[in-house]
Amino acid sequence: MSALKTLNPYFLKHKKLLLYGVVFIILSNFLTIFPIKFIGKAINIIAHSLTSSDSLDKKQLLKQLLLYGGIIVLAPITSGIMKFYMRQTIIVASRRIEFELKNNIYKHYQTLSFSFFKKFKIGDLMNRISEDVVNVRQYLGPGIMYSANLSIMLIIILGYMLASDPIMTFYAILPLPFLSYFIYNQSTVINKKTKIVQGKQSELSSFVQDSFSGIRVIKSFTKEDYIISKYIDQSNQYRNETLSLTTTEAIFSPLMILIIGLSNLFILYIGGQRYIDGKINVGTITDFFLYLNVLIWPFTALGWVISMIRRAEASMERINDFLSVKEEIKNSNFNLYPIKGEIRFENVSYTYPNTGIQALTNLSFEIEPGETIVFMGKTGAGKSTIALLLERLIEPNSGMIYIDDQPLSEHNINIIRDKIGYVPQESFLFSDTIYNNISYGIENATLEQVEKYAKKAEIHSNIMEFKDNYQTEVGERGVTLSGGQKQRISISRALIKDPTIFLFDDSLSAVDTETEEKILSNIENDIGIKTTLIITHRVSSAKHSNRIIVLDKGKIIEMGTHSDLISNQGFYSELYKKQITQKLS
Ligand SMILES: Nc1ncnc2c1ncn2[C@@H]1O[C@H](COP(=O)(O)OP(=O)(O)OP(=O)(O)O)[C@@H](O)[C@H]1O
């Protein structure tokens, strides 16, 4: 239960609603149980009036019968109203706590570092905020409501039963703990099997999703038969797991009815004997049947609630695991100031913690404000890692990064990120309109502003060809756009921020070299004294640079101007020759 202690502050916040809920539970239970003994009394009156010949006595009995009838009808109606308020308080409190918990988890996710998100699968992160929170909410709502209901009902009903006949009470209740245990056991098995079925179902739907997304590759490689047999295989697994769950569920009801039947049998047998012995009357037997009827649901709920609490505890532990992760990169500077754009790396090394790959080793370079530097090198050389470090999405293991001669770690992180116009390698677009995607980084952007920067990124004329122009929805992650269109929208999104430092991470790879030229000279005309870092595999981008840095295995192997590196006869000049020959041919 220790993990569930995290919920105490939430309980305290909603204590009023929860307390009202308990009051309504007490009232509703009392009103459910209270009229039962009047049913027994009414039966005794009817039995008595059948044998009585006194008309005055019969009149008196009828009056009493009417009074009992009134109680028997009115009490359950009032109990129903109380049950309504019981749900309106406890379930509403649980829904509010669920809402607050979800918001807190989401807020916490937003504070966590970039490497945290690289460590966990998206599906896993989503589960904490959906399935796990639902499990906790079920404990908070139905869990608490039924536990309170059972305890209160048990106290009231046991009082009545013991007052009527202690021996019959013992026999009537005897099978009920077995009922709770059985329900707990079955619920645990059903939960486990349901999880497996859900897992198989999501495997199947991701497989189908994947095969639809990759339909082009499947057809090109004529893999249709392979895909169909794989689908049938996965579908068979799903069917087998579902059938196993259905069998468990099918055993559930008959066994439950058997245990309840045993209780009824005990009442009939023991009650019958005690009636023959003259120890109780017919009304008492009727009362016990009715008491048992009322008790069955709480005892059933007990088993269910125990398994629910165990599930909630496991879920809360998983949620707590995430909530206890601390912000790795904290901002300690909240001043507002301008940035000139001078960048200095001094012996910077970085190793990715999850793979142990050393991406950069003792890297040192300096960039003056307004300079354009091109980073080149084989794939995996460490170029994108420089971009991540500059945005302070990750921190160096050793060495220092300076911006405007001040350590990056001492800067206001929000200013740095705001003043860097970053265009990522995979142009991620939100499922929204083109307008909202371009204006993402600034508030209340006008259409003129959006158009201006779309023109600079050479995408405006494309957008004007779409039916809804700037209001065109780009679909999930921009699926309705070509790779080059996505890249140029992503560039417009960086340009509109009017940053001091531009950071292009291989962000022109999907446009032809002519468009690339145009975009870079559009930006150049506008840049003024802005620092620009271009990570690229194309020598055409290098033309616009002051210097080129070539990396290999996280180290600088060449640095200089285009003509310096051509005469160097190294990686750059080889690449240049290759790409120029390709262009000419
Ligand atoms: N998130 C990550 N987790 C673990 N290792 C990573 C991660 N990102 C990159 N690496 C590793 O770090 C090294 C440098 O990667 P980086 O992305 O900086 O290379 P790059 O030069 O930008 O490559 P490319 O030109 O292919 O984009 C590579 O060996 C890569 O496998």
Q: Is residue 367 part of a domain?
A: yes
What is the whole-number distance in angstroms between the Cα of residue 215 and the centre of ligand 1? 28
540 pLDDT exceeds 60? Answer: yes
Q: Which of 379, 426, 534, 556 to mutate to test the pocket of ligand 1 (most atoms within 8 A of CB)?
A: 379
Q: Does 219 have pLDDT greater than 60?
A: yes
Q: Which atom of ligand 1 is nearest to the CA of 360?
A: 14
Q: Work out the pLDDT band at 149, boundaries 50, 70, 90.
A: confident
* Closest ligand 1 atom to 537 CA: 25
The whole-chain average pLDDT of the chain stands at: 84
Q: Which of 114, 118, 355 to mutate to test the pocket of ligand 1 (most atoms within 8 A of CB)?
A: 355
Question: Domain with 111 in it: what CATH number?
Answer: 1.20.1560.10
Which of 111, 141, 164 lies at the terminal end of a domain, its last residue? 164
What is the number of the ligand 1 atom nearest to the C-alpha of 385?
Answer: 18
Q: How confident is the model at residue 568 (pLDDT cuts 50, 70, 90)?
A: confident
Residue type, 373: I
CA distance 312 to 318: 10
**Which one has a higher pLDDT value, 527 or 196?**
196
- CATH number for the domain spanning 421: value is 3.40.50.300
What is the pLDDT at residue 355? 82
Sheet holding 398-403, edge to edge: 358-367, 343-351, 398-403, 406-407
> Is the pLDDT score of 527 beyond 60?
no
pLDDT tier, 467 (very low <50, low <70, confident <90, very high otherwise):
confident
Largest CA distance in the chain: 129
Going by pLDDT thresholds of 50, 70 and 90, the confidence category of residue 257 is: confident
What confidence tens digit (pLDDT) does each residue in 276-321 have?
A: 988 888 888 888 888 888 888 777 777 778 778 877 888 888 888 8
Question: Is 493 contained in some domain?
Answer: yes
Domain end, chosen from 141, 164, 187, is at: 164
List alpha helices for 324-459, DSSP H. Answer: 383-390, 413-419, 434-438, 447-456
| Rounded distance from Cα 349 to ligand 1 centre (Å) | 14
| Cβ of 379 less than 6 Å from ligand 1 | yes
Q: Look at residue 202 and tell me if it is in a domain.
A: no
The pLDDT tens digits for 476-510 are: 666 667 888 888 999 999 888 888 998 988 887 77
Residue 517 CA to ligand 1 center (angstroms) comes to: 27
Which atom of ligand 1 is nearest the CA belonging to 386?
A: 18
Query: Is 187 a member of any domain?
Result: no
In a domain, 336, yes or no: no
| Ligand 1 centroid distance, CA of 529 (Å) | 30
Confidence of residue 526 (pLDDT cuts 50, 70, 90): low
Domain membership flag for residue 309: no
| Burial group, residue 501, by CB count within 10 angstroms (0-12, 13-18, 19+) | buried
Residue closest by Cα to atom 3 of ligand 1: 352
Q: Is the pLDDT of residue 218 over 90?
A: no
Q: Among positive and negative, which fits the CA dihedral 273, 274, 276, 282?
A: negative
Of the listed ranges 176-190, 297-311, 341-355, the least confidently predicted one is 297-311
| Cβ of 381 below 6 Å from ligand 1 | yes
pLDDT over 60 (residue 513): yes
Determine the pLDDT at residue 584. 62
- Would the pLDDT of 113 be above 90? no
Nearest to 300 by CA among 191, 185, 173, 183: 183
The closest residue, in CA terms, to atom 25 on ligand 1 is 379
453 or 187: whose pLDDT is higher?
A: 453
Q: Three-state SS for 165?
A: coil
Is the Cβ atom of 581 under 6 angstroms away from ligand 1? no
Distance 368 CA to ligand 1 centre (A): 26
Among the listed ranges 104-113, 315-324, 509-518, 529-538, which one has the minimum average pLDDT value? 509-518
Asked if residue 384 has its Cβ within 6 Å of ligand 1, the reply is: yes
Structure tokens at 405: 């001669």
Q: What number is the average pLDDT over the span 345-369?
A: 91
Whether the CB of 489 sits within 6 Å of ligand 1: no
Residue owning the nearest CA to atom 19 of ligand 1: 380
Question: Does residue 345 sit in helix, strand or coil?
Answer: strand
Total residues belonging to the chain: 585
**Quick one: pLDDT at residue 406?**
92
**Spatial contact of 288 and 267, defined as CB atoms under 8 Å apart:** yes
Separation CA 325–CA 319 (nearest Å): 10
Confidence of residue 56 (pLDDT cuts 50, 70, 90): low
Q: Is residue 94 part of a domain?
A: yes
Query: Does the pLDDT at position 544 exceed 90?
Result: no
- 385: CA distance to ligand 1 center in Å? 7
Share of the chain above pLDDT 70, in %: 96
CB atoms within 10 A of CB 454: 26
Q: How many CA atoms, within 13 angstroms, populate the side-chain half-sphere of residue 445? A: 24
Query: What are the pLDDT digits (tens) for 125-135?
Result: 777 777 788 88
Whole-number Å distance, alpha carbon 433 to ligand 1 midpoint, is 31
Q: How many CA atoms lie within 13 A of 30 on its CB side?
A: 7
Give the residue, out of 113, 345, 348, 384, with the most ligand 1 atoms within 8 A of its beta carbon, to mutate for a pocket test: 384
For residue 52, pLDDT beyond 70: no
Residue 299 resides in a domain: no
Which one is predicted more confidently, 423 or 54? Answer: 423
What number does the ligand 1 atom closest to the CA of 387 have?
A: 18
Question: Which residue's CA lies nearest to atom 28 of ligand 1?
Answer: 380
Residue scoring higher pLDDT (123 or 496): 496
Q: What DSSP string describes 140-190? A: IIIIHHHHHHHHHHHHHHHHHHHHH-HHHHHHHHTTHHHHHHHHHHHHHHH
| Residue 400 clears pLDDT 90, i.e. is over it | yes
Q: What pLDDT is stored for residue 577 in this prediction?
A: 82
- Total number of domains constituting the chain: 2
Of all protein residues, the one whose alpha carbon is nearest to atom 18 of ligand 1 is 382
User: Ligand 1 centroid vs 352 CA: distance in angstroms?
Assistant: 9
Percent of the residues in the chain that have a pLDDT greater than 90, as a whole number: 18
Q: What is the Cα–Cα distance from 282 to 265, expressed in whole angstroms? A: 16
Q: Which of 143, 164, 185 is the last residue of a domain?
A: 164
Structural domain span for residue 466: 343-584
Q: What is the pLDDT of residue 349?
A: 94
Q: Categorize the per-residue pLDDT at 81 as very low, low, confident or very high, splitting at 50, 70 and 90.
A: very high
CB 303 within 8 A of CB 296: no
Angle between helix 55-111 and helix 15-33 axes, rounded to 10 deg: 160
Q: What's the CA-to-centroid distance between 73 and ligand 1, angstroms?
A: 75
Distance CA 111, CA 107 (A): 7
The first and second tokens of residue 512, run together, are 């032809």
Q: Provide the pLDDT for residue 235.
A: 93
Task: Name the token pair of 498.
Answer: 């009017």
Best-predicted range by mean pLDDT (98-102, 220-224, 474-478) = 98-102
